[in-house]
Amino acid sequence: MLKFYFHPGPNPMKVALFLAETGLPFELVPVDTLKGEQHTAEFKAINPNAKTPAIDDNGVRVFDSNAILLYLAEKTGQLLGKAEDRGELLSWLMFIATGLGPFSGQSVHFRHHAPEKIAYATNRYLREAQRHYEVLNDHLASREYLVGDEYTIADVSAWGWIDKATVVLGEEGLAPYPNLQRWFDSVSARPAIETARNFGKDVAFKGEFDDEAKRAFFPQNFPKA
Ligand SMILES: N[C@@H](CCC(=O)N[C@@H](CS)C(=O)NCC(=O)O)C(=O)O
């Protein structure tokens, strides 16, 4: 059985949505990142980068959310889009993996977590996150989905981060991006979204972002153990 190493953050939620869409059987393995469980030797054997999500598919490990999406889509033949749209699919997956995700993550960090408020960094990452939202908004002006004319893993991947728009950009969230808002509403109306949101609901994940959590997420702020 496929093991899904999960914590309810934007990157694991992409994989949760894929599994909910396809109904692929899996065993959820909670990794409580606020308790530092991503740093155990056992988990690092699955993901040496010590982040969620990761999967273990009967002895085959795959880590990094978009690699997992591609792996599972290729394995099942689902949500891959048309062969002629392969270039677009790869392009949008990489745009999300190397641009939308990291800039959104850094925007969240400097807006909400950095121990000092650094206007330059906050502005730089917010503005880059906004620019990525603009690229998506422009692309979606005349189309329903990111790739071709069907729902694919590119939409699944983008949803994980766009779902966090207010945390990344501030209260106005998607308001300045009407095409992206329309796309988000349409994806959010899919029944699989609610299924995915319920994954791990029976797990008592730690909620408090205390010193233990800060050490696990931002080790650079602490003396080396
Ligand atoms: N590039 C990775 C990023 C994974 C990532 O940053 N995961 C977060 C949750 S959304 C995490 O596990 N954070 C724990 C930590 O940074 O220690 C991916 O796309 O899977």
Report the pLDDT value the prediction gives residue 161, as an integer from 0 to 100.
98
CA distances from 218 to 33, 114, 119, 139 (A): 12, 9, 19, 35
pLDDT digits over 72-130, tens only?
999 999 999 999 999 999 999 999 999 999 999 999 999 999 999 999 999 999 999 99
pLDDT digits over 50-70, tens only?
999 999 999 999 999 999 999
Task: Give dist(CA 148, CA 155) in Å, integer.
Answer: 11
pLDDT digits over 27-37, tens only?
999 999 999 99
Q: Is the beta carbon of 137 within 6 A of some atom in ligand 1?
A: no
Instruction: Name the closest-CA residue to atom 6, ligand 1.
Output: 51
Residue 28, H or E segment: strand 26-30
Ligand 1, atom nearest to 10 Cα: 10
Instruction: Name the closest-CA residue to atom 1, ligand 1.
Output: 64
Q: Which of 28, 164, 157 is nearest to 80 (CA)?
A: 157
For 149, other C-beta atoms within 10 Å of its C-beta total 10
CA of 22 to the centre of ligand 1 (A): 23
Report the pLDDT value the prediction gives residue 225, as an integer from 0 to 100.
67
Q: Which domains does the chain have, with CATH numbers?
A: 2-78+195-221 (3.40.30.10), 83-189 (1.20.1050.10)
Q: Which of 156, 182, 216 is nearest to 10 (CA)?
A: 156
Fill in the amino acid letter for 136: L
Instruction: Name the closest-CA residue to atom 11, ligand 1.
Output: 51
Alpha helices for 170-220 (secondary structure H): 178-188, 191-198, 211-217
Report the pLDDT value the prediction gives residue 224, as an integer from 0 to 100.
79
pLDDT at 157 over 90: yes
Arithmetic mean of pLDDT, 129-156? 98
pLDDT digits over 163-216, tens only?
999 999 999 999 999 999 999 999 999 999 999 999 999 999 999 999 999 999
Q: Is the beta carbon of 51 within 6 A of some atom in ligand 1?
A: yes
Peptide bond into 53 cis (omega under 30): yes
Ligand 1, atom nearest to 53 Cα: 20
Describe the strand order of the beta sheet including 2-6 as a list of residue ranges.
Answer: 26-30, 2-6, 54-57, 60-63
Task: Give dist(CA 168, CA 174) in Å, integer.
Answer: 10
| Mutation pick for ligand 1 pocket among 52, 100, 153, 168 (CB with most ligand atoms within 8 Å) | 52
